[in-house]
Amino acid sequence: MFKALIGRLKQGHRTMEFPSAGIKLPPRFLGMPGISHAACKGGCAKCAGVCPTGAITLLAEKPVLDLGRCVFCGKCAELCPAVFKFTGEYRLAARERKELFRCDEAVKRTRTLDSEMKRIFGRSLKLRQVSAGGCGACEADCNVLQTLTYDLGRFGIQFAASPRHADGLLITGPVTQNMKLALLKTYDATPAPKIVIAAGACAISGGIYSGHPETAGIPEEIPVDLYLPGCPPHPLTILDGILRLLGRIE
């Protein structure tokens, strides 16, 4: 008992302030990519060629980067550092799939739920996490949010053990054929109104498994309210996205 108390004193207070201007990510961290169309001569399509997941397409000969497919490997920036610049910006979440396509423009922040949904979920949100394929890294970074470093609970957000007790689902993985039925049943078991969050490149677009016959993607019956890009998304990306969705950060 005394050892535990002494241990508690030694370990100190470790919960980070959030949101905070003081958050510093490692210098080599790859966050929101900036694309400069002015620096691009256009038409060579080499960036689309090096991208492993087909995240880069050309629009009027200039690159468009789909954050929903990007695995943040930085290959495009290696090839063409003048055009692609990954910043340390971790705030990547979007409400609609089309908002994840990055051209040469300023970043928009995630919009809040409509007022009725915000009234219901804004102060207390219970999520059922469904892992459906993938590599387990997104799940690991969701788990991290429950540690005292991020302390998700202080925002009134918790992961629930049963879909019956949940206000929504947080889906990770490309949704394998083998998990599709379980995901649909879990969605049906969650009482309405409910929200759905797709976390990670796999859940959003299939990621590196896109096009595998073994994967199905999130079924159309399940409408997604929030997209969290990354492979995996940084815990701060997840936290920021959910808090913005709930209108807790403006």
Partner 1 sequence: MNGPKLLNHLESTGFETLTALDPGMFYRVASERLRAGGRAVSYFGLPEEGGTRLILILGFDSERRLEALSVSVTDSFHSLTPEFPQLHLFEREISEQNCLEAKGHPWLKPVRYPLKSGSPVSPGTADFFKVHGSETHEVAVGPVHAGVIEPGHFRFQCHGELVFHLEIALGYQNRGIERRLIGGPDKLTIHYMETLAGDTTIGHATAYCRAVETLSDTEIPPRADILRGIMLELERLANHTGDLGALAGDVAYLPTASFCGRLRGDFLNMTALICGNRFGRNMIVPGGTAFDIDPALAKELKLRLDAAFKDVKNAAGLLWSTSSVMERFEGTGLVSKETALALGLVGPAARASGVRLDTRHNFPVGAYKLKAVLPADAPESGDVYARAYMRWLEIKRSYELINEFLYSLPGGPVSIEPGAMRPERFVVSLNEGWRGEICHVAVTNAEGGFRHYKVKDPSFNNWQGLAMALRGGQISDFPLCNKSFNLSYCGHDL
Which residue(s) pair with 130 in the sheet? 171
Using rule CB under 8 A, residue 30 touches partner 1 = yes
Q: Which is nearer to partner 1, 7 or 22 (CB)?
A: 7
Applying the rule CB under 8 A, the residues between 230 and 249 that interact with partner 1 are 231-232, 234
Asked whether the beta carbons of 160 and 128 are under 8 A apart, the reply is yes
Please report how the helices 137-144 and 235-245 are oriented relative to each other, as an axis angle in degrees rounded to 10.
70
**Residues 172, 134: contact at Cβ < 8 Å?**
yes
Name which of residues 160 to 189 contact partner 1 (CB under 8 A): 161-163, 173-174, 176-179, 181-182, 186
Q: Draw the binding track, 77-116, toward partner 1 (x: CB under 8 A; -: no contact).
A: ----------------------------------------
CA 228/CA 250 separation, integer angstroms:
17
Strands 226-228 and 168-172, by their bridges, are unpaired
Quick one: 117 or 152, whose CB is closer to partner 1? 152
Least distance (Å) from partner 1 to the CB of residue 129? 4
Residue 45 contacts partner 1 per CB under 8 A: no
Closest approach of Cβ 152 to partner 1, in Å? 11
Residues shown for the chain: 250
Is residue 90 within 8 A of residue 243, CB to CB? The reply is no
HSE at residue 158, side-chain half, CA atoms within 13 A, is: 11
The phi-psi region of residue 42 (left if phi > 0; otherwise alpha if psi is between -120 and 50; otherwise beta) is: left
Nearer to partner 1 by C-beta: 170 or 249? 170
Give me the least distance between CB of 222 and partner 1, in Å please. 14
Q: Is 198 in the site for partner 1 (CB under 8 A)?
A: no
Beta carbons of 170 and 153 less than 8 angstroms apart:
no
Site residues for partner 1 per CB under 8 A: 3-4, 7-8, 10-11, 14, 25-30, 50-53, 71-75, 128-144, 146-149, 159, 161-163, 173-174, 176-179, 181-182, 186, 208-209, 212-215, 231-232, 234
